[in-house]
Structure 1
């Protein structure tokens, strides 16, 4: 099964961000963006890839320990950014050191359970909003969100999420995410 560990924002924060994004859907090139669904929004802490189901008990035990070692912390959506002209994202402000430490603990726990976390990129708190499906200059989108700062919310759970990739071959179909397990932060 294909897995990742994440912090999932609460519904009021998701609703607020979705409202801030609504005007972006009318910008030139918006039809060439594959917008992520608000119901799937998350901050990936560690991408685990394909995981043998036999490793799941050890993995969940290690992730539970990681969750309990870090306190709930305050975040808010803030500023947009882009990875080239391919991915549009929104970042976070707040207790980012705690979030970064949680990401490190999550990846370390996964490795101890025999699951190799993707270590190609250093952790950067971002939530993917859209992926370009053709040539789009994302600068206009990041400029529109440059001053956006959402209301504070509490990150209080670590989630292990299964990602099921589309199998139908229908263009634009998105992966399905299912929470396998979650743990409250703090001890």
Structure 2
């Protein structure tokens, strides 16, 4: 049997993840939308995240360069207090839940993460941070379901929570058909501690 050759690149981003209790609240609020719009490509709940820096396709050899500085950054930082709230959409194609809480600290953390990545010599396209949690996508031919699902989240307000870990995440996006799956490459506790 022929062995699989590991990919030479990996799609990478750095993110925060809501705790299970916060995700369960949002999942409950999405119940009607799951039933009404089964053809939307819903993200797996275990993959829900708030992206701080999207690095794109990187050589696998670049990933180890990020580990020590990200671990040090997390250890030196206090957790950020956040909550999931409401919903919206990008271009009538992407459904998201909004983020509220200490957004100043969230923006500062994202800025520091991005500066650290650049200090590691890793180039990536800077995107404006628009704090959100992506829930689903749909085809351009069916925008009404995203708009209606976002309206259904208008009154949603989740519990406040503290970010527990900084996550370095890899995805299989662009590696064939099927849903996008994410996996932690590594994660580090805020305020001290390891993975």
2:167 is equivalent to residue 148 of structure 1: no
State how 1:31-180 maps to structure 2 within 5 Å: 31-119=38-126, 121-133=127-139, 134-137=141-144, 138-165=146-173, 167-169=175-177, 173-180=178-185
Alignment TM-score, normalising by the size of structure 2: 0.86
Unmatched 5+ residue regions in structure 1? none
Q: Distance in 2 between matches of 1:26 and 1:183?
A: 36
When the two structures are aligned, how many residues end up with a matched partner? Answer: 181
Q: Distance in 1 between matches of 2:112 and 2:20?
A: 26
Alignment TM-score, normalising by the size of structure 1: 0.89
Q: Distance in 2 between matches of 1:92 and 1:186?
A: 22
1:146 aligns to what SS in structure 2? coil
Provide the residue aligned with 2:5 in structure 1: none
Q: Is the 8 A contact 1:59 1:115 kept in 2?
A: no
Q: Distance in 2 between matches of 1:71 and 1:82?
A: 30
2:159 aligns to what SS in structure 1? coil
* Deviation string, structure 1 residues 91-117 (Cα, Å, up to 9, x no partner): 111111111111111111111112123
Q: Distance in 2 between matches of 1:105 and 1:98?
A: 10
RMSD: 1.6
2:29 aligns to what SS in structure 1? helix
How big is the shift at 1:54? 2.5
Provide the residue aligned with 2:6 in structure 1: none
Which shows bigger deviation, 32-41 or 64-73?
64-73
Q: Distance in 1 between matches of 2:113 and 2:142?
A: 35
